[in-house]
Amino acid sequence: MNAGILNGITVLSIPFIPPSSNQIYVNKRGGGGRFLSTPAEQYKTTVKAYLGEHYMMEISNLNPEAIYSVTFNFLLSKNKILNKGFGKKKNGAKTKYKKIDASNRIKLLEDCLKDVTGIDDSQFFSVTAQKWFAKEPRVVIYLEEMNQSEIDADLFAKSMLQNLGQDS
């Protein structure tokens, strides 16, 4: 899928799957904090360069002061998601699905987006992660600007009640 801007939503397609957050940090010996692992640093460098090369026009249209709804779609081959041995009687896999946590792959992508767009992940008020089968592994990110009223729980509740015909 080519990316760009679709109905006001910025779409970025990255042909690299990030490492799990379980593998992106290394603790300093003797305490003193954590730092990015070598694979995480390499991924971050590669993705930032890729986004800068392919999506500068789309990125320049993003408002760095706004709040956003972000959807991370992880497109993975079936053999990365499904356990082949599931259902086999002898030495078969215990579950149908491999332990590929989509939510564990978001943090490094958020950091890459911050470095490239200037939008901090604290401005992501709605975050969704999804996994899909695909022949071509990649991450497709949808960034949609939100307005303040969309995150006001009281306004949301009132709107829901009005839609149900139960004005308060």
pLDDT score of 35: 87
pTM above 0.85, yes or no: no
Per CATH, the homologous superfamily of domain 4-163 is Holliday junction resolvase RusA (3.30.1330.70)
pLDDT digits (tens, 9 = 90+) for 50-96: 999 999 999 999 999 999 999 999 998 877 776 677 777 776 767 77
What confidence category does residue 101 fall into, taking pLDDT thresholds of 50, 70 and 90?
confident
Q: What is the DSSP string of the chain?
A: ---EEETTEEEEEES-PPPPGGGTEEEPTTSS-EEE-HHHHHHHHHHHHHHHHH-HHHHHTS-TTSEEEEEEEEEE-HHHHB-TTTT-TTT--SSSB----SGGGHHHHHHHHHHHH---GGGEEEEEEEEEE-SS-EEEEEEEEE-GGGG-HHHHHHHHHHHTT---
